[in-house]
Chains A and B, each alone.
Chain A
Amino acid sequence: MSEGVQQLEQLDSYQESFRKLESDSPETNHKWLRKLREDAFARFSKTGFPTTRMEDWRFTNVSAIAQTRFQLSRNGHDRLLQPSEKFALAGSCCELVFLNGRFAPELSSLSGLLDGLHIGSLAEELKRNPGAVEAHLGRYLDTQRDPFCALNTAFVEDGAYVHVAEGVAVEKAIHLLYLAADEGKPSMTFPRNLIVAGESSQVVVVEEYVSWGCEQAFCNSATEVVAASDAVVSHYWIEREHANTFNVSTLRIEQARNANVASHSVLAGGALVRNNVHPVMSGEGGECLINGLFIGNGRQHLDNYMLVEHASPHCSSRQFYNGILDDQAHGVFHGRIVVRKDAQKTDAKQTNRNLLLSDDAQIDTKPQLEIFADDVKCTHGATIGQIDENALFYLRSRGIDERAAGQLLLVAFAGECLGRMKTDAVRVHIEKLIGHQLRQLNADQKTTPKAVGGEGERNWKELQ
C-alpha cells in the first residue's frame, strides 16, 4: 500500500483519545499490549486514512469519516436500556451484548455453557489471563497494510473472547451483539474480537451490529479467527445499523491444516460500510467459503473487500457474493486472490452477481488474481443485471401479481446466499431481516421506471 496519503484532519482528536485510553485502563496496561497499541497508533498517525488514490480504496471514499470529529465512546454500560429482546438470536447458546463497544454483562446471558467453551469479554480476559490473549492478539491482523486495522489495534480494549478447546463441538451459535446507543455526540467504537478454535473443534459465531438511536457513529471492528488443524468454524457478520453510521470491519482468518472455515457477511444497514474478509490458508488441505449478500438503497455505500491468500498446497476457496442495489446505492465487490509460490493444486473460485433495481444504483466489481504457483485452478466471474423480465412474466402469467412476483425473484436471488448458511437458527434469523429489507426495496421499485428487454433477450451482462 503506497504511503504519503494523508487524511488526518482530526489527528489531535485521535491523539487525545489515545492518551485518554492509555491512562484510563491501568489494570490492563501490560507492556506487550502497550507496545501493540503504540506501534499501531504510530502507524496510523503516519498513514492517516486511505484515499481513493490507493488501489484497495479506489471505489470507497472515507473522507466523511476522516473529517468528522468522533469521540471515543467511554460511557459504556452506565445507562440502563431495556435489553433488547428484539435483537436476540433465537436458538443461540449464549448472547454477549456490547454497548457502545464495552461488554454489558447485565444485558448478556452466558449461563449453561459447555465444558471446553470459554467465552467472555476481551477486557476481562486481559485481566484474568493475559497470556492466552497475548499468544494470538494482533499476530494475524495486518496493521501495515490497512490503516483501519492499525486504528482498531491502537484502540484495542474490549470485544469478545471465544476459546473452544480441542475436540469440542459447539453446535449452537454464539451471538455477539454490538449495540450502538446515542451519546449526544458523534462517537467511535473499536470492538476487537479474538476467536480461537482448537484442533478438531467446531464453533459458530455471529457478529451482529445494530443501532439504538440515530446519531452519527463510527464503528471500526476487527476480528481475528484462529482455526487450528481440522477445526470447523462458521462466522457470520451482520450489519444492520441505522443510515447514519460508518462501519469498517476486518475479519482476519488464520487457517491451519485441513481447517474448514465459512465466512458469511450480510450488509443491509449503515451509510458507509466496508467489510474486509481476509483468510490466510496457511496449512495444507484447508477449505474456505466466503459468502456474502449486500442489499442497499437510499445513498448507502456497501463495499466488500476480499483478500484470499492461498499459502499452502491443496486448499480450496469459494467466494460467492450477491448484491441488490436500489435508488442511488453504490456497491463494491473487490475480490483479490493471492496464490503463493508453494500453494500448488489451489482451487479458487469467485462469483459476484448483482441486481440493479434503479438507473442510479451503481456497482463496481473487480476481480484481482495474483498467482505465483503454476498448478492451480482459479476462476472468476461477475454479472450485473436487472430483474429478469422473462421470469417476471412467467410468474405473472400464472396469476402472481407484479409486486409479489418481483418480491419472489429478489428473495430467490438473496436465497442463493442464504442457502449456503448451514446453521438453521442463524439462517432463519437472517431470512427475516432480509425479507423485511427486500419488501422495502420492492415498494420503491414500483415507482422506478426500468428498461424492459425484448423477448428472448438476456438481461445479464456478462462481464468476464
Chain B
Amino acid sequence: MNLLEVKNLHASVGGQEILKGIDLVVNRGEVHSIMGPNGSGKSTLAQVVARRESFEVTSGEILYEGKNLLEMKPEDAACEGVFMAFQYPVEIPGISNAYFLRSALNAIRRYRGLEEIDAMDFLPLLKEKAKLLEMDDKLMNRSVNEAFSGGEKKRNEILQMAVLEPKLAILDETDSGLDIDALKIVATGVNAMRSPDRAIVLVTHYQRLLNYIVPDRVHVLVEGRIVRSGGPELALELEETGYGRLEASVGGTRVSA
C-alpha cells in the first residue's frame, strides 16, 4: 500500500481554486521534492495534507495508508503520523517549547495506546534531539517560537519532527530565509530522519536545499498542477532554465507522478 496517494485533488480558498487536479504518490522510504514558482499552490498542497480547514477540497481524494485523510481532523492526521513543518511557524506566548513538545508527543502516544512520558524522561530525549540541531537548551524553556530568530524557528520545526517521529513529513519551505550554515544544520537534521519507514516531502522554491538532501523524485507544480516529474536531475535542470518555460507550457500537458 502506498503511504500517500493524492488523486485529482482540487482545492480552493475563498472561492478561488488553487489546486486544479493534483496526482501524487509517495511511498515509504522516499524523499520527494515539490518545486515551483511562488503562488503555484505548493503551500496549499502541504496544508491540505496537514488538514488545515480554511482550504476547501472541491473534488478528488487523499489516501494515507489507504485511509481517507480528508475525513481526519488535523490532530487525528498528526496522531496517524502526518507532520508538516510550517513555512511560518506560529509564536505562542505563555507555553514553553518543552511543555508544548511533551504535550504533543503524549497526545500522539495516547492515541497509539502507549504510556505517556513524564517530564523527567522527556528531558534527555529532547536534549539529544536539540543537540543534533545545534539548538540552545535555553530555547526549550522559552515560549514556543517567541522571540526566536528566523533560523531558530525553522530548526524548531525540524526538532518537533525529530521528537514526534512522523511517518510522513512535509517540509513547507523550511529552507527559505536560512543562511548556508543554518541550511546545513537543517539538512543534517532531515537526513538523520531518513528511514525506510518514513517519507519526506520537501516543498521548496529553490534547488539549493537539494544539494544537501538529495531527493528520489522531483515534481514541478505550476498553477495548481504538477507539470513535470523526474529524478534529482530535474531540480538541476530547473536551476539552469528557471520556471519560465514550464509556466509557458501550462495548459498543454499534464504529467502525473
Which residues from chain A sit less than 8 Å from chain B, CB to CB? 388-391, 393-402, 404-405, 408-409, 411-413, 415-416, 419, 452, 454-456
A412 to B105, CA, bound (A): 19
A416 to B95, CA, bound (A): 10
CB distance from A330 to the nearest CB of B (A): 25
Name the interface residues of B49-64: CB closer than 8 Å to any CB of A: 50-54
User: When A391-B90, A395-B92, A454-B13 are in contact, do A408 and B74 touch as well, CB less than 8 Å?
Assistant: no
User: When A396-B78, A397-B78 are in contact, do A390 and B95 touch as well, CB less than 8 Å?
Assistant: no
Q: Indicate if B214 sits at the interface (CB-CB under 8 A).
A: no
Is there an interface contact between A401 and B107, defined as CB atoms closer than 8 Å?
yes
Is there an interface contact between A416 and B160, defined as CB atoms closer than 8 Å?
no
Is there an interface contact between A398 and B95, defined as CB atoms closer than 8 Å?
no
For B14, list chain A residues within 8 Å (CB).
454
Other than the given A396-B74, A452-B54, A455-B47, 19 more pairs (CB < 8 A) read A388-B90, A391-B92, A393-B53, A393-B74, A394-B90, A398-B83, A398-B100, A398-B107, A399-B108, A400-B104, A401-B73, A401-B75, A402-B75, A408-B95, A412-B95, A415-B94, A415-B95, A416-B94, A456-B88
Size bin of chain B's contact surface = 35 or more
The 9 closest A-B pairs by CB, nearest first: A412-B94, A398-B104, A399-B78, A394-B90, A396-B74, A399-B107, A415-B94, A399-B108, A396-B75
For A399, list chain B residues within 8 Å (CB).
75, 78-79, 104-105, 107-108, 111, 164
For A388, list chain B residues within 8 Å (CB).
90
A455 to B100, CA, bound (A): 22
Chain A: interface secondary structure? Answer: helix
- From B84, B91, B103, B143, give the contact of A397 (CB < 8 A): B84
- From B51, B54, B79, B107, give the contact of A454 (CB < 8 A): B54
Q: Indicate if B231 sits at the interface (CB-CB under 8 A).
A: no
19 contacts between A and B (CB under 8 A): A391-B91, A393-B52, A393-B74, A394-B86, A395-B100, A397-B78, A397-B83, A398-B164, A400-B103, A402-B73, A402-B75, A404-B103, A408-B95, A413-B94, A415-B94, A415-B95, A416-B94, A454-B14, A456-B88
How many pairs of A and B residues are in contact by the CB < 8 Å rule?
87
- From B54, B92, B107, give the contact of A394 (CB < 8 A): B92
Is there an interface contact between B94 and A394, defined as CB atoms closer than 8 Å?
no
CB distance from B117 to the nearest CB of A (A): 13
For A404, list chain B residues within 8 Å (CB).
103, 107
CB distance from B91 to the nearest CB of A (A): 8
A388 to B94, CA, bound (A): 13
Return the chain A residue nearest B50 by Cβ. A397
Of A391, A393, A413, A415, the most chain B CB neighbours within 10 A belong to A393
Q: Indicate if B39 sits at the interface (CB-CB under 8 A).
A: no
For A456, list chain B residues within 8 Å (CB).
88
For A396, list chain B residues within 8 Å (CB).
73-75, 78
For A398, list chain B residues within 8 Å (CB).
78, 83, 100, 104, 107, 160, 164
Q: Indicate if B93 sits at the interface (CB-CB under 8 A).
A: yes
Of B83, B88, B93, the most chain A CB neighbours within 10 A belong to B93
User: When A397-B51, A399-B78 are in contact, do A409 and B92 touch as well, CB less than 8 Å?
Assistant: yes
Q: Indicate if B89 sits at the interface (CB-CB under 8 A).
A: yes
For B111, list chain A residues within 8 Å (CB).
399
A452 to B90, CA, bound (A): 16
For A397, list chain B residues within 8 Å (CB).
50-52, 74-75, 77-78, 83-84, 86
CB distance from B79 to the nearest CB of A (A): 5
Is there an interface contact between B50 and A411, defined as CB atoms closer than 8 Å?
no
A50 to B232, CA, bound (A): 77
For A415, list chain B residues within 8 Å (CB).
94-95
A228 to B93, CA, bound (A): 36
A395 to B145, CA, bound (A): 12
For B84, list chain A residues within 8 Å (CB).
397
Return the chain B residue nearest A403 by Cβ. B75
Is there an interface contact between A412 and B104, defined as CB atoms closer than 8 Å?
no
For A389, list chain B residues within 8 Å (CB).
54
A280 to B92, CA, bound (A): 36
Return the chain A residue nearest B103 by Cβ. A400
For B89, list chain A residues within 8 Å (CB).
394
A408 to B75, CA, bound (A): 14
For A416, list chain B residues within 8 Å (CB).
93-94
A284 to B135, CA, bound (A): 45
Name the interface residues of B90-121: CB closer than 8 Å to any CB of A: 90-95, 100, 103-105, 107-108, 111
CB distance from A430 to the nearest CB of B (A): 15
A404 to B103, CA, bound (A): 10
CB distance from A229 to the nearest CB of B (A): 36
CB distance from A310 to the nearest CB of B (A): 29
Is there an interface contact between B75 and A400, defined as CB atoms closer than 8 Å?
yes
A103 to B219, CA, bound (A): 78
For B107, list chain A residues within 8 Å (CB).
398-401, 404
Of A394, A399, A409, the most chain B CB neighbours within 10 A belong to A399
Return the chain B residue nearest A457 by Cβ. B54
A415 to B100, CA, bound (A): 14
CB distance from B84 to the nearest CB of A (A): 6
Return the chain B residue nearest A454 by Cβ. B54
Return the chain B residue nearest A453 by Cβ. B54
For B51, list chain A residues within 8 Å (CB).
397
Is there an interface contact between A452 and B74, defined as CB atoms closer than 8 Å?
no
A219 to B231, CA, bound (A): 76
A415 to B83, CA, bound (A): 28
For B91, list chain A residues within 8 Å (CB).
391
